[in-house]
Amino acid sequence: MKKRFPLSKVYSLLEPGPLLLLTTAHRNASDVMPMTWYSLLAFEPPQVACVVSAGNHSQALLRASKACVLNIPTVELAKQVVGCGNCSGAEVDKFAKFALSCSAAEQVAAPLLDDCFASLECRVVDTGLRRYEQFVLEVVAAWVDPKVKDPRTLHHRGYGKFMVAGESIKLRSRMR
Ligand SMILES: Cc1cc2nc3c(=O)[nH]c(=O)nc-3n(C[C@H](O)[C@H](O)[C@H](O)COP(=O)(O)O)c2cc1C
């Protein structure tokens, strides 16, 4: 069960660049796709720039709804993640195909993925970088499972190779 997470700490979830599962919904359609091309833009409210290609069904839903959820999976979901990247929501119901259970978000139509340890509800705040298929998202609500201490997130290293995180080291006393 996830609990509300402070927006001021959202950056700490994204700083290491974990692979995300982007969920979108508009009218009767919903979709989910893996996404790794994104970058933090601001601490609070947290803003993220991301690439969602025009060839992806998710882009149409993102444009239409102007909202989405960034879900952060761990290694246990690796096979479903890759499966979601191999097909399109235009042709298949990925939630059913990969048995992804969902909960309603608080502020957006896109669903929260229950098996992801964190889910960030976002609104699209800028589409000005259309040339680059980039969208600027603002996180409006964040949910994290407090029981997950060192999440074993996936970090794509290209060509289907993933690095798995999970160990934390503390260097606070050395930092300015
Ligand atoms: C590891 C991984 C990372 C990906 N990152 C992105 C990304 O950042 N942006 C993007 O547009 N597509 C990305 N993709 C491709 C989409 O996930 C893929 O095209 C997906 O099938 C689109 O589904 P849709 O048509 O249902 O939206 C990635 C795929 C994988 C496997």
What are the boundaries of each domain within the chain?
Answer: 3-174
Does the domain formed by 3-174 have CATH 2.30.110.10?
A: yes
- Residues 28 and 101: their CA atoms lie apart, in Å, by 17
Q: Which amino acid is at 134?
A: Q
Q: Are 151 and 164 in contact (CB under 8 A)?
A: no
Average pLDDT over residues 116-123: 98
Q: How many residues does the chain have?
A: 176
pLDDT digits (tens, 9 = 90+) for 60-71: 999 999 999 999
Q: Which atom of ligand 1 is nearest to the CA of 61?
A: 27
> 89 CA distance to ligand 1 centroid (A)?
11
Q: What pLDDT is recorded for position 166?
A: 87
> 93 CA distance to ligand 1 centroid (A)?
15
Q: Whose CA is nearest to atom 4 of ligand 1?
A: 35
> 156 CA distance to ligand 1 centroid (A)?
12
**With 90 as the cut, is the pLDDT of residue 152 above it?**
yes
Start-to-end C-alpha separation, the chain: 35
Q: Are 36 and 19 in contact (CB under 8 A)?
A: yes
With bands split at pLDDT 50, 70 and 90, how would you rate the model's confidence at 15? low
Average pLDDT over residues 68-84: 98
